[in-house]
Chain A
Amino acid sequence: MAKIIVITSGKGGVGKTTTSAAFASGLALRGYRTVVIDFDVGLRNLDLIMGCERRVVYDLINVIQGEAKLQQALIKDKRCENLYVLPTSQTRDKDALTSEGVTAVMDELRTEFDYIVCDSPAGIESGALMALYHADEAIVVTNPEVSSVRDSDRILGILAARSRRAEQGEEPVKEHLLLTRYSPKRVEGGEMLSLQDVKELLRTPLLGVIPESEVILQASNQGIPAIHMENSDVAEAYKDVVARFLGEERPLRFIHPVKVGFFKRLFGG
């Protein structure tokens, strides 16, 4: 039986899709049969980040509306043997995603996969609620910035009250905090909330810290999930996140500023 993980945040643009792609790829690299689902109906993007946009024929909504079989909509990843992508539709009909439909898709996927990763849309409306409803675990993606922290707190409250586990009185959704776009240098300068600050404010166990990095743009430009960007800090940081998620101990890395020489600072580099 698969474990269902939602990647959520409340606030938009904090790195959910980037994280969904990297995290799902990481689980597959570790040998787990994994599927990553785009819940952002109308704003399909996971396909681009995964680099499979030209292979989309059917999507989640087609499956829900009975126009395609699940097997027809699943796209096999070209880099990882055990990974599949379930894209969403570009429809503007917000009611296309029904809770019965999502439940049916989850029930079918659950028997085939080890992990189901759900890339949530921003906000706290129906799309975000559907993405988190079935979750066993949640990764709350947060930037070290006031509005992101506040929205993460909101979404933590919603996970505790509106998920299937909450409604059915089961053990609560296991929550993880993932700090992304972290700039150790700005934290050291007292300009940015530190990881200790955010941990303390949100009272949620920290799964990892992903540094702010230009490699993310190089990755998205090419449709390569960040975890495949060899020798980069973000790839290493995402690998650590996957390892910790699987229960391994990994010390936090990339949380201290890299010392830059005087000349590099003077002339840029």
Chain B
Amino acid sequence: MSFLDYFLGSRKKTAHVAKDRLKLILAHERDADGPDFLPALQEELLAVIAKYIPVDKENIKVSMERRGDYEVLELNILFPDQH
């Protein structure tokens, strides 16, 4: 550290690194949580489906995923064995 640095302060400018890292991780974590309406959607779908086919709450899964430029809403229902 030079004599002049000592007076002018030569600490690294790292705030922009922090901001860039946060931008990425927050976007990623917000996606992972999925939209707020998913639990409600799952409940309502279950109610409708259960009118026709007996199905357990555990056997229905709704998820939202980003694939490239698209958002994919995935619905998985496991039906009980009929036999």
Please list the residues of chain A having a beta carbon within 8 angstroms of any beta carbon in chain B.
145-146, 149-150, 153-154, 157, 160-161, 166, 187, 189-194, 197, 201, 265-266
Known A146-B21, A157-B33, A160-B36; judge A201-B14 contact (CB<8 A). Answer: no
Closest-by-CB residue of A relative to B40 is A169
Q: Is the CB of A190 within 8 A of B29?
A: no
Q: What count of chain B residues pass the 8 Å CB interface test?
A: 19
With both chains docked as a complex, state the minimum distance between the C-beta of A124 and any C-beta of chain B, in angstroms.
12
Q: Is the CB of A201 within 8 A of B15?
A: no
Q: Is the CB of B36 within 8 A of A149?
A: no
Having A150-B26, A265-B7, one finds 5 other A-B pairs with CB under 8 Å, namely: A149-B22, A149-B26, A153-B29, A191-B11, A193-B22
**B51, CB-defined interface residue at 8 Å:** no
**B16, CB-defined interface residue at 8 Å:** yes
For window 7-31 of B, CB contacts with A under 8 Å fall at 7, 9, 11-16, 18-19, 21-23, 25-26, 29-30
- Chain B residues contacting A154 (CB-CB under 8 Å) are 29
Q: Is the CB of B36 within 8 A of A187?
A: no
Q: Is the CB of A146 within 8 A of B15?
A: no
CA distance A95 to B26 in the complex (A): 32
Q: Is the CB of B22 within 8 A of A146?
A: yes
CA distance A193 to B29 in the complex (A): 20
With both chains docked as a complex, state the minimum distance between the C-beta of A143 and any C-beta of chain B, in angstroms.
12
- Chain A residues contacting B30 (CB-CB under 8 Å) are 153, 157
Known A146-B18, A160-B36; judge A191-B12 contact (CB<8 A). Answer: yes
CA distance A118 to B52 in the complex (A): 47
Q: Is the CB of A201 within 8 A of B11?
A: no
Q: Is the CB of A191 within 8 A of B14?
A: yes
Q: Is the CB of B15 within 8 A of A191?
A: yes
A190 touches which one: B7, B13, B22, B25 (CB < 8 A)? B13
- Chain B residues contacting A266 (CB-CB under 8 Å) are 7
Q: Is the CB of B15 within 8 A of A197?
A: yes
B19 touches which one: A153, A191, A193, A265 (CB < 8 A)? A193
Closest-by-CB residue of B relative to A202 is B26
- Chain B residues contacting A146 (CB-CB under 8 Å) are 18, 21-22
Q: Please, could you name 13 A-B residue pairs with CB atoms under 8 Å apart, sorted by A?
A: A145-B18, A146-B21, A146-B22, A150-B25, A153-B26, A153-B30, A154-B29, A161-B36, A189-B11, A190-B14, A193-B18, A201-B19, A266-B7
Closest-by-CB residue of A relative to B12 is A191
Q: Is the CB of B16 within 8 A of A150?
A: no
Known A160-B36, A161-B36; judge A192-B15 contact (CB<8 A). Answer: yes
CA distance A153 to B24 in the complex (A): 13
- Chain A residues contacting B33 (CB-CB under 8 Å) are 157
With both chains docked as a complex, state the minimum distance between the C-beta of B6 and any C-beta of chain A, in angstroms.
10
CA distance A194 to B22 in the complex (A): 13
Closest 8 CB pairs of A and B: A190-B13, A197-B19, A146-B18, A190-B15, A153-B26, A201-B22, A193-B15, A191-B11
